[in-house]
Structure formats: C-alpha cells, structure tokens
Chain A
Amino acid sequence: MITFFAQAPALPLHAAGKYVAGAYIVFILMLIVYVGIMARRLHTNQREIQELKLLLEQRERQELAAQQPVPDSEQVA
C-alpha cells in the first residue's frame, strides 16, 4: 500500500480541485442522507417490534394466570 501511494501521482488541487471535490461530495452526501433515512426507518421498525414483543409477553402472562387453578376454599380451611 505504501509503495502504491509512493508511486501515485500528486493530485493537482488548484482550480479544478473544487469541481472534482464538489462532484464527489454531492455523491457522498446523497449516500449519507439515504443511509440516514434507512436508519430512521430501521429504528421505527425496531420500536414497533419491541412494542409487539411486550404485548405478546403481557398476553402470555395473562393466559398463564388464567390457566392456574384457583385454590379451593374448603382445602384452605
């Protein structure tokens, strides 16, 4: 890698540099914005799945409680 960069031509960043940088920055910015939107969507999805998971657990607890036999009053006495 070091040899590669040592042999690489120096980049002439005078007048043309700002245009080349501009073109590549536009591309990278678009990529970043897109990834940001995707991350937001992923976050919403994860929150919704978490919500569903909690609801499922709550329902399972309620079902379990309903299945357990109620202690007989005579036996208790």
Chain B
Amino acid sequence: MTTHVRHLRGLTIATAVMLTVSLALVFFYAPLDAEQGFIQKIFYIHVPLAIVSLVGFTLGGAFAVAYLRTGNRVWDMRSYCVIHMSLIFSVGGLLAGSIWAKASWGHWWVWSEPTLVSYLIVILLFCTYQPLRFSIEDPERQSRYAAVFAIVCGAFVPINFIVVRLSTQFLHPRVLNLEGGNLPNSMKLAFYTSLLAIALLFATLMRYEMAAKETRIETRRLRRRLLGDDALRPLGRSAAPQ
C-alpha cells in the first residue's frame, strides 16, 4: 500500500461529514446578512475555494523546492497534483465569485477591481504550467523546469495577495483580517467550518489523484517485469510526471 492510499477511507468520510455539516451551518444556522441578504451565502463557498486554491499554488512551489533539493520524483508528483487541483478549485472559486458579483454588483466581472483581476492573473499564470510541462519531452528536464516555474509562481501568490490588500481601492468586501474580521460569531463558525471542509476536500482529492498516478506507474512497472520492454506501449508525451 502506498503512502497516499493509506488513511484514504478515513479522510473521505471526514470530508463528507464536514461538507454536510458546513452546508447545514451555512443554510440553517448562519443568519442572513443585513446588507446583502441571502446572496451572501455564496461567500461561504467562494472565499474558501479561493483561499484553498491560493494556498495550494503556494504549496506547489514549496513541493517544487523539496524536489530540487532532494531529487525525489515523489515531490515533483506532489507539486504537479497540488497545482492541478488548485487550478480546478480556483476555477470553481472564480465562477462562484462571478455569480456573486452579478447578484450584488449587477456585473459578471469588474475589471477595475484589483482582487478579481489579480486572482485571474494568478490563475492564468498557473494555466501555463501544464503546457510548459507538455512542451518538454525529456522527463528529467520537464520536472526541473516545471519546479523552477512552480517556485517562481508560488512565490508570486503571497506577494500578489499582500500588494492587493495594501492597495487603496476597497470595492471588494473585506470581511477577514488578522484580528478576526467583522463577522458575527455564528457566521464565523459557518465560515471556518466551510473552510475546513473545502481544505479537507482538497486534501482528499489530491490523495486520490496521487494514488491513481502511483497505481498507473506501478502497473506499467509490473507489465515491464512480466512481459519485458517490448510489450510496453510507447509512452505518449505527457504533462504529468512519468
């Protein structure tokens, strides 16, 4: 059993329970927002998706550092999977945010809003990660170049976040800060539960992704041992670590 398959069942159950609890808290416990009313419920899905995806991108950079330091391909696989998963979550966050913008501002997208535009830039930046990998045929070089890219872009994420927070325009609602924000306790509970649920979902899906990739590699190895190199279908060019 590989390291990523271990505890997978427990993690899956915990994720399902947390998601159910968070949805119950959001819709049946947290009060309606005085200003925005029911639309504010999107906050509990949009913000956790955005936070988890941004942390994921940064984590991708950290895993890439570990790969360059150790040369262990597991770290490259982790970096690839975490960035892949973060991209999916960020698209979810972007769509949820866009729906919220339409409902409360009357527009699907506001180009003059730094938080939105900077988030889009981060997503577009990481969208080039997979094509970059795909363009390099040699697996060793592919991993190395991708690691450098992941580190540079991963470092860009917190810098970008801080710069946007320091900017003067405050059209985007600021409900969280280091002092705990201006949310009432019932909303805070629902929000942090949602954040934990989405983080758990991210961890679970990432482990599934890793386990699937490892199984694929193991099967290929087994086929080679059993039938020799000639029986293996030639590997096509792939963005994923092989």
Smallest CB separation, A56 vs chain B (Å): 6
- Report if A19-B100 is in contact (Cβ < 8 Å); known contacts: A41-B212, A55-B226: yes
The one of B31, B49, B102, B226 in contact with A27, judged by C-beta atoms closer than 8 angstroms, is: B49
Smallest CB separation, B105 vs chain A (Å): 12
Please, what's the 1-or-0 string for B77-106, where 1 marks a CB less than 8 Å from any CB in chain A?
Answer: 000000000001001100110011011000
Which residue of A has the minimal Cβ distance to B91? Answer: A30
Selecting from B37-45, B117-125, B173-181, the interface stretch reads B37-45
Which residues of chain A are near B32, meaning CB under 8 Å? Answer: 9, 12
- Contact, CB under 8 Å: A20 / B39: yes
- Report if A23-B38 is in contact (Cβ < 8 Å); known contacts: A30-B92, A48-B219: no
- Contact, CB under 8 Å: A19 / B226: no
Task: Tell me how many residues of A have a C-beta within 8 Å of chain B.
Answer: 29
B17, CB-defined interface residue at 8 Å: no
Smallest CB separation, A17 vs chain B (Å): 7
Count CB-based A-B contacts (< 8 Å).
76
- The interface of chain A, by Cβ under 8 A from chain B, is 4-5, 8-9, 11-13, 16-17, 19-20, 22-24, 26-27, 30-31, 34, 38, 41-42, 45, 48-49, 52, 55-56, 59
- Contact, CB under 8 Å: B227 / A55: yes
Report how far A19 CA is from B107 CA in the complex, Å: 13
- Contact, CB under 8 Å: B102 / A23: no
Report how far A52 CA is from B226 CA in the complex, Å: 8
- Report if A49-B219 is in contact (Cβ < 8 Å); known contacts: A26-B96, A38-B208: yes
Smallest CB separation, A62 vs chain B (Å): 13
Which residues of chain A are near B49, meaning CB under 8 Å? Answer: 27
- Report if A27-B92 is in contact (Cβ < 8 Å); known contacts: A16-B38, A45-B215: yes
